[in-house]
Amino acid sequence: MITLSGIIGSGKSSLTEILSKELGTKAYYEPVEDNPVLPIFYKGNEIAAKKRAAGEKDATNPYAYLLQTYFLNRRFAMIKEAMQNDNNILDRSIYEDEIFMKMNTEMGNATKVEYDIYKSLLNNMMEELPYAAHKKSPDLMITIKVSYETMIKRIIKRGRDYEQIEKDPSLVDYYHRLLSHYDDWMDEYDESPLLIIDGDKYDFVADVKDRMKILETIEDKLYDLGNLEQTKVDELRKAHLEILKQQ
């Protein structure tokens, strides 16, 4: 089982789809378009920021806790299902979930009480996960690391209004904080082997050569971990050469 992680706009879903086709695995995607809370959460952030700017120091986003428990529930259900069998990929996992609630608490969008309740719920879920699933943790966590500039370009390209900094200037601070929290998370993550992909250097969506490079980096890691046989690696390398010849 492979799990993907990374900030908004880093390319998690795109790489999940690429890897799923490459390795013949089942892909699990976290639904965003049908999320009823996400749009109002962003609106709540904007309202809370304006209230604090007007002097209401304790103003919070009333939807922060709701959004995080919504995501936590969805991610727990998704990873439980994925962990029932081998040979699958998730475009997001429960392992990075706390980043968002922790950051929202630091920013004043959620209260300390809400964070403590959330953390207790998360810990209980993580304790139950090995009993509810086929394995204890992913075989490989892949993180796509991108800069603020790359993230913003991709957010603009995919066009969700509630993610745009032009619509909500408070998102500039939110996104920079999120990047910093992901840096800390990458340093601290120890649930499974971690592979960090440079999302600024390699455009694995638009550039075929970059895509082949990233795929081979991941496949080499899977081979080193004992999750991919040499015959499969050789087969994939041969296929890559044929693809590159056609470019």
Amino acid, res. 130: P
68 known member of a binding site: yes
97 known member of a binding site: yes
177 known member of a binding site: no
156 known member of a binding site: yes
The residue assigned the tokens 């999940």 is 16
Q: Length of the chain, please?
A: 247
Measured between its terminal Cα atoms, the distance across the chain in Å is 31
44 known member of a binding site: no
**Active-site position among 34, 58, 86, 91:** 91
235 known member of a binding site: no
For residue 211, what are the CA distances in angstroms to 7, 11, 17, 39, 155? 19, 12, 12, 32, 20
24 known member of a binding site: no
For residue 128, what are the CA distances in angstroms to 106, 124, 137, 193, 244? 28, 6, 12, 21, 45
160 known member of a binding site: no
139 is a catalytic site residue: no
17 known member of a binding site: no
237 known member of a binding site: no
63 known member of a binding site: no
5 known member of a binding site: no
209 known member of a binding site: no
**Cα 46 versus chain centre, distance:** 23
CB under 8 Å, gap of 24 or more: what pairs does 209-215 form? 209/244, 209/247, 211/18, 212/240, 212/243, 212/244, 214/15, 215/18, 215/19, 215/22, 215/240
Strand partners, 36: none
Q: What's the token pair of residue 76?
A: 């727990």
Are 210 and 204 within 8 A, CB to CB? yes
30 known member of a binding site: yes
- Report the binding-site residues: 6-14, 30, 42, 68, 92, 97, 154-158, 163
Q: Which residues are annotated as part of the binding site for substrate?
A: 30, 42, 68, 92, 97, 163
Binding residues for ATP: 6-14, 154-158
Residues annotated as part of the active site? 91
